[in-house]
């Protein structure tokens, strides 16, 4: 967090685990600010962060390999507590004088640990003699402890499932406390951050809001800022926060590409221009986009076309208001993490349209990214702090390219209208059943197939559509929502009866694998 007197903070060094972000989420949920940096971050940068503790994540590598990644020595020499998780435990042991070996007795999935002794990490959570469920994912295992450590938990496949050096505040867990499959894992992490590392847990959205407003004012000064407002949660909260900081120095540009859900363009204008009095430019460019997309079938070609045109239109509107010095965008912390991990540096993209196009050099604007330290749930919490309505904050995620990627194959105005009507019916029934908030994302897809059917006394040859609804806590993994058959029958009946051109409805029960953010 950017502040002259930042709250207590923890640094997470990432060794490549697909669930490293969950560590940060659990830590922040307990009111402690943290960041995720790559394991090979420069020692001077690590020292400058001022961490009260370090967490070493899991990862896919083997400590036994010659080129295995290692934690920087400063982590163990800084005089602050360290928690190693899975690979993090293994590299900590190997670097401090212990031994790690490959094992034929691997553990993947649910396992149980026997609590062999008390330690500060377990205080008030686990007790000696208890048997606790955890989530394991390892092949290698520690076979000899470094000096100063003792074993505090064992499992069938890991004789050192948890280790402790209370004197230095060094702890190692072979299992993953950050995942929900380890029931008391969040409490263990809280013990580390609060009791072992001494963090006060004072990081809140109210303190973030105050500090970020001050940072925006200091960065922008008297400059002018433009923001690509899409109506989604990220761009909406970013716009509101920047507006609170600098008022009418901000102009929001809403590019309507004609690929939005029914009534969405009108909602954006009414909410932000009329209700919140933001300076808003609304450009209806639907004809331009739909003409350019005629006959385009490849999904990546669609994205690139939309991205190119979005930037062109955005640039035209920015020039029409006299230009700007800064571009505000709703980059989130997962974007930052992925960008740094993949390329070693920040991505420069117009986030409000989900990275469909890069920011061209000719625009010559500096970035204002007020949300780049936040996860999605934190953005919603900040939005509530700023007074945004639940109709905006609770809206299901919607991809920047919009309905274009929910119509596989060529797009037409007729198909878009059919899909909007199907989507509207689906969401109406979900809301009527009181299920909207229980579902992370629900949407319809107009399939690139046509089906023969009989409706009344006539034979039809019309489109088929698919419905999808998933649950998720973090957007990283998802499972299909279990509608009852009565609900699905009711929705299918309405769609077939009310949407001319659609005669078949299917429900997609595919779950989402871990490791990706978007669900499109």
Catalytic center residues: 86, 176, 178
H helices within 230-296, ranges in order?
233-246, 264-269, 286-292
Residues 6+ apart with CB under 8 A from 305: 289, 292, 293, 296
- The closest of 96, 85, 99 to 53, measured between CA atoms, is 85
Rounded Cα gap, residues 55 and 369, in angstroms = 26
- The closest of 393, 396, 369 to 468, measured between CA atoms, is 396
Instruction: Determine how β-strand 458-471 pairs with β-strand 502-508.
Output: parallel
Residues 6+ apart with CB under 8 A from 218: none
By CB neighbour count within 10 A (0-12 exposed, 13-18 middle, 19+ buried), where does 335 fall?
buried
Contact 145, 107 (CB under 8 A): no
- The closest of 400, 423, 401, 421 to 411, measured between CA atoms, is 401
Query: Residue 285 — φ and ψ, nearest 5°?
Result: -110, 25
Query: Residue 293 — φ and ψ, nearest 5°?
Result: -90, -5
Residues 6+ apart with CB under 8 A from 59: 14, 15, 16, 17, 39, 69, 86, 87, 88
Query: Residue 321 — φ and ψ, nearest 5°?
Result: -95, 10
Q: What is the DSSP string of 319-340?
A: HHTT--SEEE----HHHHHHHH
Rounded Cα gap, residues 377 and 334, in angstroms = 12
- The closest of 285, 288, 309, 355 to 516, measured between CA atoms, is 355
Residues 6+ apart with CB under 8 A from 120: 164, 166, 169, 191, 195, 196
Rounded Cα gap, residues 311 and 70, in angstroms = 42
């Amino acid at each position: 967090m950017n502040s002259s007197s930042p709250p207590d903070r923890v640094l997470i060094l990432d060794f490549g685990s697909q669930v490293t972000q969950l560590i940060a989420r659990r830590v922040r949920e307990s009111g402690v600010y943290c960041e995720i940096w790559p394991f090979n971050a420069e020692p001077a940068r690590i020292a400058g962060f001022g961490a009260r503790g370090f967490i070493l994540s899991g990862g896919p590598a083997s400590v036994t390999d010659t080129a295995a990644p290692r934690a920087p020595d400063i982590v163990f020499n800084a005089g602050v507590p360290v928690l190693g998780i899975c690979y993090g435990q293994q590299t900590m042991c190997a670097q401090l004088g212990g031994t790690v070996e490959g094992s034929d007795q691997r553990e993947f999935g649910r396992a149980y640990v026997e609590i062999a002794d008390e330690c500060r990490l377990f205080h008030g959570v686990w007790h000696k003699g208890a048997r606790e469920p955890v989530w394991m994912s390892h092949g290698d295992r520690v076979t000899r402890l470094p000096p100063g450590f003792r074993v505090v938990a064992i499992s069938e496949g890991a004789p050192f499932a948890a280790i402790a050096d209370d004197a230095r505040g060094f702890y190692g867990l072979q299992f993953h406390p950050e995942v929900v499959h380890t029931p008391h894992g969040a409490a263990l992490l809280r013990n580390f951050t609060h009791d072992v590392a001494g963090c006060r847990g004072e990081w809140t959205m109210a303190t973030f809001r105050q500090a970020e407003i001050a940072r925006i004012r200091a960065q922008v000064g008297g400059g002018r800022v433009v923001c690509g407002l899409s109506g989604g949660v990220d761009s909406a909260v970013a716009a509101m926060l920047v507006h609170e900081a600098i008022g009418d120095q901000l102009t929001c540009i809403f590019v309507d590409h004609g690929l939005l859900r029914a009534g969405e363009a009108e909602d954006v204008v009414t909410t932000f221009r009329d209700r919140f009095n933001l300076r808003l430019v609304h450009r209806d460019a639907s004809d331009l986009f739909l003409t350019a997309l005629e006959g385009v079938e490849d999904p990546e070609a669609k994205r690139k076309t939309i991205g190119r045109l979005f930037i062109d239109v955005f640039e035209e509107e920015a020039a029409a208001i006299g230009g700007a010095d800064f571009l505000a965008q709703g980059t989130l912390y997962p974007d930052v993490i992925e960008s740094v991990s993949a390329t070693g540096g920040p991505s420069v993209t117009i986030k409000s349209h989900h990275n469909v196009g890069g920011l061209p050099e000719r625009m010559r604007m500096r970035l204002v990214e007020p949300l780049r330290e936040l996860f999605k749930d934190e953005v919603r919490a900040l939005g509530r702090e700023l007074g945004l309505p639940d109709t905006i904050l609770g809206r299901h995620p919607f991809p920047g390219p919009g309905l274009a990627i929910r119509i596989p194959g060529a797009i037409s105005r007729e198909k878009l209208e059919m899909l909007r009507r199907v989507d509207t019916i689906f969401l109406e029934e979900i809301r009527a059943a009181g299920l909207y908030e229980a579902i992370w994302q629900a949407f319809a897809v107009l399939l690139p197939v046509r089906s023969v059917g009989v409706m009344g006394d006539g034979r039809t040859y019309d489109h088929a559509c698919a419905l999808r609804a998933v649950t998720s806590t973090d957007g990283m993994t998802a499972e299909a929502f279990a509608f009852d058959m009565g609900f699905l029958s009711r929705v299918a009946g309405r769609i077939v009866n009310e949407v001319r051109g659609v005669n078949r409805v299917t429900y997609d029960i595919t779950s989402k694998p871990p490791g990706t953010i978007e669900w499109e």
